[in-house]
Amino acid sequence: MRLPLSLATLALLAGCSTASAVREAWNWDPTAPRERTRIVLAPEQLASLSNRLADLRIQRNDIRSRISAEPDVGVRLRLYEDLHRVGMQLSPLERQLAGAAS
């Protein structure tokens, strides 16, 4: 008897912890999306951001071409690590530029 009662209590507590998320999902209106905060960058910052993005994209493409030409698996693995590192630097900058452009 203790097991079903404790499971019911656990389910009730788990349901209460998600009540705010359910309420937010219930009130969501797809015809009125939330307003995004627009990022304003100075022209110098925008130019340097664009240049950095271009450098990282060139670097990413260079690594991809080296991966495709490399027959050794160990070397390709290190190149994939470099590609991941470049991608981790590139993604936030692309999101920042997209936020500034919108």
* 23-78 residue pLDDT tens: 777 777 778 777 766 777 778 888 888 999 999 999 999 999 999 999 999 999 99
The DSSP letter of residue 37 is P
- Cβ atoms of 87 and 64 within 8 Å: the answer is no
Residue 92 is predicted with a pLDDT of: 92
Residue 19 is predicted with a pLDDT of: 61
Phi, psi of 79 (to 5 degrees): -65, -35
What confidence category does residue 16 fall into, taking pLDDT thresholds of 50, 70 and 90? low
Query: Could you list the residue range(s) of the whole structural domain that residue 58 is in?
Result: 2-101
Count of domains observed in the chain: 1
The answer on pLDDT for 93 being more than 80 is yes
Residue 20 is predicted with a pLDDT of: 64
CA gap 39, 16 in Å, rounded: 36
